[in-house]
Amino acid sequence: MAIHLDDPKKFRPLRDQAHQVAMNMLRPISRKYDRAEHSYPKELDMLAAMIDGISESGAAEGAGAAGVRRDETPGEKAGVRNGANLASVMSIAEMCWGDVGLLLSMPRQGLGNSAIASVADEEQQQRLAGTWAAMAITEPGTGSDSASIATTAVLDGDHYVLNGEKIYVTSGERADSVVVWATLDKSLGRAAIKSFVVEKGTPGMAVERLEHKLGIRASDTAAITFTDCRVPKENLLGSPDVDVKQGFAGAMATFDNTRPLVAAMAVGVARASLDLTRDLLAEAGVEVDHDRPAHLQHAAAAKLLQLEADWEGARLLTLQAAWLADNRTPNSLEASMAKAKAGRVGSDVTLSCVELCGSLGYSEAELLEKWARDSKILDIFEGTQQIQQLIVARRVLGLSSAELK
């Protein structure tokens, strides 16, 4: 199968709409909600309602778009498909050109929606349509090792009883529900980890605190505890059976879906920094010429050319990972490559742009310093830079997690 590097024609109106929203709705309130941490951006309600109505574009399918389904045979549907995953990464990149924290605050676009899209069965897909779902994975003692999750889920009649603590839950206070990762049996390891949809207000679920953060301050990040929290057994996403042979695959399908989305966020905020820096350099008399060798240009122009090249690599890897998901082709390797590249490039580009613009970049006169703060989380959540490189190494070398730690 071939991949074309031009944006698909059918998604260009969506891309352009997203860019207009970023420029005219998100940028003007960006600084306001960066300063007013934990205040809900009410301007997003109208925008969310508008996005819900754009069903044909794929944007209405949540941040997770169509998901990465493992229950279909690759290539079983004829033809090359540009679908909702590609539409989502394109629109997310444009929205994050406006503001990452506000994008993460969008109602019904939570990362938990990606889990639902990737793991839920058809009945659950229909029943949970329209919910705003956060995703709760990280725990105080787990760090980057999602397989060591200690939150437990014990079947008791028609309910699972959840006990444990989750931290750094994006939209954990605002969302309608939370997709909670818990283990059915610690002795069975990774294979027993399942995800459960816990609706807001369920007895035993409590938001303990909201975190104060370096960046993405418009987004609420919560610590949540579960104490004998009873969840209907039909809210376990996918199959309740523990398949030791499949192992962690069911849970990993969610990451295969969300990692390209986070990569797209990094691509978007990095692009914003490059665009503004080029304009500020031009005002200072430094023109960037793409037709001349870098060593014949001003040092700042040469640096910008290098940053643009890195950015283009991250963008293409992100598009590839999403495109593979649309075509129901395994994308675990590509998803982690995109996340690793874009996460690192996002931080490098935004911080380098601050440096290139000097005191103007470091001050609040421009949004460059904010973009540098916002971008750092994109190299951390949904799997750190180090974890992504480890996953890529395992895939390339054909080794299991037990063989390469």
> In the prediction, which pLDDT does 50 show?
78
Q: Which helix (H) or strand (E) holds 359?
A: helix 358-362
**pLDDT, tens digit (0-9, with 9 covering 90-100), for 161-181:** 999 999 999 999 999 999 999
Distance CA 180, CA 150 (A): 12
> In the prediction, which pLDDT does 56 show?
41
Residues 6 or more apart whose Cβ sits within 8 Å of residue 290:
305
Q: At 334, which amino acid appears? A: E
How would residue 277 be classed by pLDDT, with cut points 50, 70 and 90?
Answer: very high
DSSP state letter for 227: E
Statement: residue 253 has pLDDT above 60: yes
Are 14 and 90 in contact by the 8 Å Cβ rule? The answer is: yes
Q: Which neighbouring-strand residues pair with 381?
A: none
Are 273 and 371 in contact by the 8 Å Cβ rule? The answer is: yes
How would residue 332 be classed by pLDDT, with cut points 50, 70 and 90?
Answer: very high
Two structure tokens written together for 200: 């807001």
Are 183 and 192 in contact by the 8 Å Cβ rule? The answer is: yes
Distance CA 306, CA 137 (A): 36
How would residue 248 be classed by pLDDT, with cut points 50, 70 and 90?
Answer: low
* Helix (H), strand (E) counts: the chain: 13, 7
**pLDDT, tens digit (0-9, with 9 covering 90-100), for 313-328:** 999 999 999 999 999 8
How would residue 295 be classed by pLDDT, with cut points 50, 70 and 90?
Answer: very high
Show the CA angle centred on residue 94, arms to residues 90 and 254, nearest 5°. Answer: 50
Rounded average pLDDT over 8-23: 93
How would residue 54 be classed by pLDDT, with cut points 50, 70 and 90?
Answer: low
Statement: residue 340 has pLDDT above 60: yes
> In the prediction, which pLDDT does 55 show?
46
Q: What are the boundaries of each domain within the chain?
A: 1-405
pTM, whole model, 2 decimals? Answer: 0.92
**pLDDT, tens digit (0-9, with 9 covering 90-100), for 359-401:** 999 999 999 999 999 999 999 998 999 999 999 999 999 998 8
Taking the CA atoms of the chain, what radius of gyration do you get in angstroms? 21
Distance CA 132, CA 277 (A): 36
Are 353 and 366 in contact by the 8 Å Cβ rule? The answer is: no
In total, the chain counts a number of residues equal to 405
Statement: residue 234 has pLDDT above 70: yes
Query: Measured on CA atoms in the order 184, 187, 192, 197, is the torsion positive or negative?
Result: positive
Statement: residue 349 has pLDDT above 90: yes
Statement: residue 67 has pLDDT above 60: no
Homologous superfamily of 1-405 in CATH?
Butyryl-CoA Dehydrogenase, subunit A, domain 3 (1.20.140.10)
How would residue 59 be classed by pLDDT, with cut points 50, 70 and 90?
Answer: very low
Distance CA 90, CA 102 (A): 16
